[in-house]
C-alpha cells in the first residue's frame, strides 16, 4: 500500500495540535488538522482516516457531539476514535465516551510514548484491514473471472453435448439402416460371392458404429455424465458371452480361446454388467486383434471378500505382438496407438483403452498392463461387486420360450424413415405380428383413436409431430386404454438424459437403433402375453 494512512487531530487550540504533531512526527503517517467539531465533520466526510484524535472539551460542539455526527455516516461507523481528555477518570466522561464509540482515552498531560504506542497499534490494524480489503476485492475479481470461465466452459460442454447428440442421431440412423439391411439380406440366402461382400459390408458398418459409440462414450466420460448401474447378473454367463462373441474371429485366425473362472466366485453378483462387458470386449478385442498366433485367455478370480462385497480380478492374457516398454504409458491416452503403423495394419481409433481405463477407474479399480514385445500382454483390473445369495438370475418367462412368434399382436409402427419402416415391418411380419404404419406423430394419434393396438413402436424425431408430442397426446385421451397402451420409443441416442426423457413423456420403454432383432423381440413379446 503506497498511500500513507491519514490521522486527524481535532483541537480548538492550535498549540495543542502542534504538540501532538511533534510527538507523532516519526510515524509514517499523514497528519491533518481540524480546529472545531464542524471542521472535523467536514474533513471526515471527505477523507478516509485511519484514526481520529479528538479533544473532548471544545467551545460550541464538544468532542462527543462531533463524534456522534461523524458516526452517522455509514463509512465512518467503525472509524477508530481516541479521546484526548483531562477528565478521563470521571465516570460521566468515561460512559459518554464509550457510548459514542471511543476506542480509547488518552489523558492529559500526554506521555509521548503512550500516544505513539497507541497510535502505532491502530496504524497496524488499519494497514491490516486495508490489506484484507484489497485481498477481498482481488478475490472477488478472481471469483468473477472463475465464474465467467466456468460458464463459458459449461456453455461449450453443452454445445458439444448437443452436437454429439445430433451427430449420434444423424450418423447412427443411416448406419442402423445399413446394418439392419445387411442383416436382412444375409438371411435371404445370398450367393456365396454375395455373402463375402455382405460380410465386408457388415464388418465395416459395425466398425463404424463402434467408432461413433466410442466417441460418444468418450465425450460422456469427459462431461462427467457416466453413471453406473447396479443389477444382478450371472458372472459365468457374462464371461461366456464375451468369449463367444470372439469365437468366430478366433477360429478364423486359428487362435485358442481359453476361459478360467474361479469356482469361488458367487454365481450371481450385483454390479454394472453392461460396463463390465464393454471393458472386457475392449480388452479381449485388442488381444485378438494384436495376436497372430497362440492363445487368448480370460481369467476371473476373487482377490478380496469383505462382508457382502467381493473384489474380482480379471486378466486378459494374449501371446501377441506385445507393447514396447517406452510406449506402455502412452497407450492409455486418447487417440494414441503404440505405433503409427497400427492404424494401417489393425485399424482402430486409439480410444478403446482410454475409455476402458476410465470405466475401470470410475468404479474404483485400476487397469494394469504387463507386456513383452514378441511374447504377449496381460491386461488386468479388479472391480468390486456385491454378492447376491441367488443361485441364478430369474429370466422372464417369455425370454426362456423360443424366439419365434408374436402371432396376433397388433402393432402400430410410427416411423418416418422408409428404410426403418421396412426393416421393422419385415421382422414383425416374420414373427406373424399384425402391423400398421404411421409416418408421423400426428397420423399416429389419429390411428390410435380409430383402432385398437396392443403396442406402439414410436420413433422420436419425426416431421409434423414428434414421438414425444404424440405420446403426450395419446396419454391425454380419456379412456384408460390410452393410459395403458404400451408405447415403446425407437431411439438412436445413447445419452442417459434422452433415455430419461422417454419415461418423463410417459413412454413404457425404449429400443435402441440399430435394432438387434433379439432385443426387438424380447422387448415387445411380453406385451403379447399381457394381452392374453
Ligand atoms: P485401438 O485398439 O483402437 O488402436 P486402444 O486404445 O484400444 O486403441 O489401444 C491403443 C494401442 O495400444 C493400440 O493401438 C496398440 O498399439 C496397443 N495395444 C492395446 N492392446 C494391445 C495388446 N493386447 N497387444 C498389443 N498392443 C496392444
Residue 397 has pLDDT above 50, yes or no: no
How many angstroms is it from 317 CA to the middle of ligand 1? 13
Residue 393 has pLDDT above 70, yes or no: no
Q: Are 331 and 371 in contact (CB under 8 A)?
A: no
Comparing 498 with 358, the larger pLDDT belongs to 358
d(C-alpha 212, C-alpha 505), whole Å: 27
> In which region does residue 529 sit, left (phi positive, over 0), alpha (psi from -120 to 50) or beta (all else)?
alpha
H helix count then E strand count, the chain: 18, 17
CB atoms near residue 12 (< 10 Å): 17
How many angstroms is it from 125 CA to the middle of ligand 1? 64
d(C-alpha 212, C-alpha 168), whole Å: 7
CB atoms near residue 47 (< 10 Å): 11
Mean pLDDT of 18-25: 94
503-522 pLDDT, tens digit each: 889 998 888 877 777 778 88
- Given the C-alpha cell 486527524, which residue does it identify? 8
DSSP 120-141: HHHHHHHHHHHHHHHHHHHHHH
d(C-alpha 144, C-alpha 138), whole Å: 10
pLDDT confidence tier of residue 438, bands split at 50, 70 and 90: very high
> Would you say the CB of residue 353 lies under 6 angstroms from ligand 1?
yes
> Would you say the CB of residue 331 lies under 6 angstroms from ligand 1?
yes
Residue 86 has pLDDT above 90, yes or no: no
Residue 401 has pLDDT above 50, yes or no: no
Mean pLDDT of 80-97: 74
22-77 pLDDT, tens digit each: 999 999 999 999 999 999 999 999 999 999 999 988 998 999 899 999 999 998 98
- Given the C-alpha cell 479533544, which residue does it identify? 55
CA distances 29 to 6, 20, 41, 123, Å, are 6, 13, 20, 8
pLDDT confidence tier of residue 399, bands split at 50, 70 and 90: very low
Residue to probe by mutation, ligand 1, list 314, 338, 345, 359, most atoms within 8 Å of CB: 338
Strand order across the beta sheet in which 455-459 lies: 434-438, 410-414, 455-459, 487-491, 509-512
Percent of the chain whose predicted confidence (pLDDT) is above 90: 46
The mean pLDDT of the chain is 86
CA distances 462 to 141, 255, 387, 411, 449, Å, are 48, 47, 45, 18, 19
> Would you say the CB of residue 105 lies under 6 angstroms from ligand 1?
no
- What is the DSSP secondary structure assignment for residue 451, as one 8-state letter? S
Q: Are 348 and 289 in contact (CB under 8 A)?
A: yes
Q: How many residues does the chain have?
A: 532
- Sign, CA dihedral 203-208-209-213, equals positive
- What is the DSSP secondary structure assignment for residue 60, as one 8-state letter? S
Residue 361 has pLDDT above 50, yes or no: yes
112-187 helix and 192-222 helix, angle to the nearest 10 degrees: 170
> Would you say the CB of residue 318 lies under 6 angstroms from ligand 1?
yes
Cα 189-191-195 angle, rounded to 5 deg:
85
**pLDDT reported for residue 520:** 83
**pLDDT reported for residue 400:** 46
From first CA to last CA, the distance across the chain in angstroms is 86
**pLDDT reported for residue 349:** 65
How many angstroms is it from 527 CA to the middle of ligand 1? 44
How many angstroms is it from 355 CA to the middle of ligand 1? 12
| pTM confidence score | 0.54
- What is the DSSP secondary structure assignment for residue 439, as one 8-state letter? S
Residue 326 has pLDDT above 80, yes or no: yes
How many angstroms is it from 390 CA to the middle of ligand 1? 37
Report the range of poorest mean pLDDT among 133-142, 158-167, 191-200, 370-379: 158-167
> Would you say the CB of residue 342 lies under 6 angstroms from ligand 1?
yes
Helices marked H in 84-111? 91-99
Highest mean pLDDT among 41-50, 88-97, 324-333, 523-532: 41-50
CA 290 to chain centre: 33
Amino acid at each position: 500500500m503506497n498511500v500513507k494512512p491519514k490521522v486527524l487531530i481535532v483541537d480548538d487550540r492550535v498549540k495543542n495540535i502542534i504538540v501532538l504533531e511533534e510527538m507523532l512526527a516519526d510515524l509514517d503517517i499523514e497528519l491533518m488538522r481540524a480546529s472545531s467539531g464542524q471542521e472535523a465533520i467536514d474533513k471526515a466526510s471527505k477523507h478516509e482516516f485511519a484514526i481520529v484524535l479528538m479533544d473532548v472539551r471544545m467551545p460550541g460542539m464538544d468532542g462527543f457531539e462531533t463524534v456522534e455526527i461523524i458516526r452517522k455516516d455509514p463509512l465512518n461507523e467503525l472509524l477508530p476514535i481516541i479521546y484526548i481528555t483531562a477528565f478521563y477518570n470521571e465516570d460521566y466522561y468515561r460512559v459518554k465516551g464509550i457510548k459514542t464509540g471511543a476506542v480509547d482515552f488518552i489523558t492529559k498531560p500526554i506521555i509521548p510514548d503512550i500516544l505513539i504506542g497507541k497510535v502505532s497499534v491502530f496504524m497496524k490494524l488499519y494497514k491490516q484491514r486495508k490489506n484484507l480489503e484489497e485481498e477481498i476485492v482481488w478475490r472477488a475479481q478472481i471469483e468473477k473471472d472463475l465464474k465467467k470461465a466456468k460458464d463459458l466452459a459449461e456453455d461449450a460442454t453443452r454445445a458439444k453435448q448437443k452436437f454429439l447428440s445430433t451427430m449420434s442421431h444423424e450418423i447412427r440412423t443411416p448406419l442402423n439402416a445399413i446394418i439392419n439391411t445387411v442383416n436382412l439380406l444375409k438371411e435371404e440366402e445370398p450367393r456365396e460371392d454375395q455373402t463375402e461382400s455382405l460380410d465386408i459390408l457388415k464388418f465395416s458398418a459395425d466398425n463404424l458404429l463402434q467408432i461413433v459409440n466410442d466417441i460418444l462414450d468418450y465425450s460422456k466420460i469427459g462431461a462427467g455424465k457416466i453413471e453406473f448401474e447396479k443389477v444382478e447378473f450371472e458372472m459365468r454367463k457374462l464371461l461366456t458371452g464375451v468369449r463367444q462373441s470372439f469365437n468366430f474371429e478366433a477360429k478364423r485366425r486359428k487362435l485358442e480361446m481359453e476361459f478360467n473362472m474361479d469356482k469361488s466366485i458367487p454365481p450371481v453378483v450385483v454390479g454394472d454388467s453392461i460396463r463390465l462387458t464393454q471393458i472386457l470386449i475392449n480388452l479381449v478385442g485388442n488381444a485378438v486383434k494384436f495376436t497372430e498366433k497362440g492363445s487368448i485367455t480370460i481369467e476371473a478370480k476373487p482377490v478380496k471378500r469383505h462382508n457382502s462385497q467381493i473384489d474380482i480380478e480379471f486378466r486378459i492374457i494374449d501371446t501377441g505382438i506385445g507393447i514396447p516398454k517406452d510406449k506402455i504409458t502412452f497407450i492409455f491416452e486418447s487417440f494414441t496407438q503404440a505405433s503409427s503403423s497400427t492404424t494401417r495394419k489393425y485399424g482402430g481409433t486409439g480410444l478403446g483403452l482410454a475409455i476402458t481405463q476410465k470405466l475401470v477407474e470410475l468404479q474404483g479399480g485400476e487397469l494394469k498392463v504387463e507386456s513383452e514385445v514378441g511374447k504377449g500382454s496381460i491386461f488386468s483390473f479388479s472391480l468390486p461387486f456385491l454378492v447376491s445369495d441367488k443361485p441364478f438370475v430369474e429370466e422372464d418367462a417369455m425370454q426362456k420360450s423360443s424366439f419365434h412368434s408374436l402371432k396376433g399382436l397388433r402393432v402400430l409402427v410410427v416411423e418416418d424413415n422408409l428404410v426403418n419402416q421396412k426393416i421393422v415391418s419385415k421382422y414383425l411380419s416374420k414373427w406373424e405380428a399384425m402391423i400398421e404404419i404411421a409416418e408421423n406423430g400426428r397420423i399416429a394419434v389419429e390411428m390410435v383413436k380409430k383402432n385398437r393396438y396392443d403396442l406402439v413402436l414410436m420413433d422420436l424425431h419425426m416431421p409434423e409431430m414428434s414421438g414425444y408430442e404424440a405420446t403426450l397426446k395419446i396419454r391425454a385421451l380419456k379412456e384408460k386404454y390410452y393410459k395403458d397402451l404400451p408405447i415403446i420409443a425407437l431411439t438412436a441416442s445413447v445419452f442417459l438424459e434422452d433415455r430419461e426423457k422417454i419415461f418423463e413423456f410417459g413412454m413404457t420403454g425404449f429400443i435402441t437403433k440399430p435394432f438387434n432383432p433379439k432385443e426387438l423381440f424380447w422387448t415387445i413379446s411380453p406385451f403379447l402375453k399381457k394381452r392374453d
